[in-house]
Amino acid sequence: MVSLLIHHLIFLLPKVLIQLIAASEADRDIVYYTFNDQQTVDTLMTLWNIIEKEKLTVGDIYTLIVNYYSEISNLSSSEIKEFTLLEYFKTIHANKST
Protein backbone atom coordinates (compact mmCIF):
# COMPACT_ATOMS: atom_id res chain seq x y z
CA MET A 1 0.00 0.00 0.00
CA VAL A 2 2.82 2.42 0.84
CA SER A 3 4.53 1.91 -2.51
CA LEU A 4 1.20 2.52 -4.27
CA LEU A 5 0.81 5.77 -2.33
CA ILE A 6 4.32 6.87 -3.25
CA HIS A 7 3.70 5.99 -6.89
CA HIS A 8 0.45 7.93 -6.70
CA LEU A 9 2.11 11.08 -5.34
CA ILE A 10 5.14 10.96 -7.64
CA PHE A 11 3.35 10.26 -10.92
CA LEU A 12 -0.18 11.64 -10.49
CA LEU A 13 0.58 15.29 -9.75
CA PRO A 14 2.86 16.05 -12.71
CA LYS A 15 0.24 14.55 -15.03
CA VAL A 16 -2.54 16.55 -13.38
CA LEU A 17 -0.57 19.77 -13.61
CA ILE A 18 0.35 19.22 -17.25
CA GLN A 19 -3.29 18.48 -18.08
CA LEU A 20 -4.36 21.57 -16.13
CA ILE A 21 -1.90 23.72 -18.06
CA ALA A 22 -3.07 22.28 -21.38
CA ALA A 23 -6.75 22.73 -20.51
CA SER A 24 -6.14 26.28 -19.37
CA GLU A 25 -4.26 27.19 -22.53
CA ALA A 26 -7.00 25.59 -24.66
CA ASP A 27 -9.69 27.33 -22.57
CA ARG A 28 -11.28 23.95 -21.79
CA ASP A 29 -12.77 22.50 -18.63
CA ILE A 30 -11.17 19.52 -16.96
CA VAL A 31 -12.85 16.81 -14.89
CA TYR A 32 -11.13 14.23 -12.71
CA TYR A 33 -12.81 11.04 -11.63
CA THR A 34 -11.31 9.78 -8.41
CA PHE A 35 -13.45 6.64 -8.16
CA ASN A 36 -14.03 7.26 -4.44
CA ASP A 37 -10.31 7.33 -3.65
CA GLN A 38 -10.28 9.81 -0.79
CA GLN A 39 -6.48 10.12 -0.86
CA THR A 40 -6.63 11.31 -4.47
CA VAL A 41 -9.42 13.75 -3.64
CA ASP A 42 -7.45 15.16 -0.70
CA THR A 43 -4.24 15.44 -2.72
CA LEU A 44 -5.91 17.19 -5.65
CA MET A 45 -7.87 19.53 -3.37
CA THR A 46 -4.71 20.49 -1.47
CA LEU A 47 -2.95 21.22 -4.74
CA TRP A 48 -5.93 23.17 -6.13
CA ASN A 49 -6.25 25.22 -2.92
CA ILE A 50 -2.60 26.26 -3.17
CA ILE A 51 -3.01 27.19 -6.84
CA GLU A 52 -6.10 29.27 -6.07
CA LYS A 53 -4.78 30.91 -2.90
CA GLU A 54 -1.49 31.90 -4.55
CA LYS A 55 -3.30 32.86 -7.78
CA LEU A 56 -0.75 30.83 -9.73
CA THR A 57 -0.68 31.34 -13.48
CA VAL A 58 0.15 28.72 -16.08
CA GLY A 59 3.64 30.20 -16.21
CA ASP A 60 3.98 30.00 -12.42
CA ILE A 61 2.93 26.34 -12.39
CA TYR A 62 5.29 25.49 -15.24
CA THR A 63 8.16 27.24 -13.46
CA LEU A 64 7.41 25.40 -10.21
CA ILE A 65 7.44 22.05 -12.03
CA VAL A 66 10.76 22.85 -13.73
CA ASN A 67 12.29 24.09 -10.47
CA TYR A 68 11.08 21.01 -8.60
CA TYR A 69 12.65 18.61 -11.08
CA SER A 70 15.84 20.65 -11.05
CA GLU A 71 15.98 20.40 -7.25
CA ILE A 72 15.36 16.65 -7.12
CA SER A 73 17.75 15.76 -9.94
CA ASN A 74 20.57 15.03 -7.49
CA LEU A 75 18.49 13.34 -4.79
CA SER A 76 18.35 9.63 -4.12
CA SER A 77 15.12 7.80 -4.86
CA SER A 78 14.33 7.56 -1.14
CA GLU A 79 14.77 11.32 -0.76
CA ILE A 80 12.55 11.92 -3.78
CA LYS A 81 9.83 9.76 -2.22
CA GLU A 82 9.85 12.09 0.79
CA PHE A 83 9.95 15.31 -1.23
CA THR A 84 7.06 14.95 -3.64
CA LEU A 85 5.81 17.64 -5.98
CA LEU A 86 2.93 18.27 -3.56
CA GLU A 87 5.41 18.79 -0.72
CA TYR A 88 7.32 21.22 -2.94
CA PHE A 89 4.15 23.21 -3.64
CA LYS A 90 3.34 23.22 0.09
CA THR A 91 6.86 24.46 0.89
CA ILE A 92 6.64 27.28 -1.66
CA HIS A 93 3.18 28.19 -0.34
CA ALA A 94 4.39 28.19 3.29
CA ASN A 95 7.37 30.37 2.38
CA LYS A 96 5.11 32.91 0.65
CA SER A 97 2.77 32.99 3.63
CA THR A 98 5.50 33.90 6.10
pLDDT tens string 32-45: 888 888 888 898 99
Q: How many residues are listed for the chain in this entry?
A: 98
Residues of the domain holding 90? 2-97
**Which is more confident, 42 or 98?**
42
In this structure, are residues 83 and 73 in contact, taking their beta carbons and an 8 Å threshold? no
Q: What is the pLDDT of residue 28?
A: 96
- Quickly state the pLDDT bin for 49 (edges 50, 70, 90): very high
What would the pLDDT profile of 16-31 be if each residue is shown by its tens digit?
Answer: 999 999 999 999 999 9
- Count of domains for the chain: 1
Q: Which residues of 14-33 are buried (b: 16+ CB within 10 A; e: fewer)?
A: eebbeebbeeeeeeeeeeee
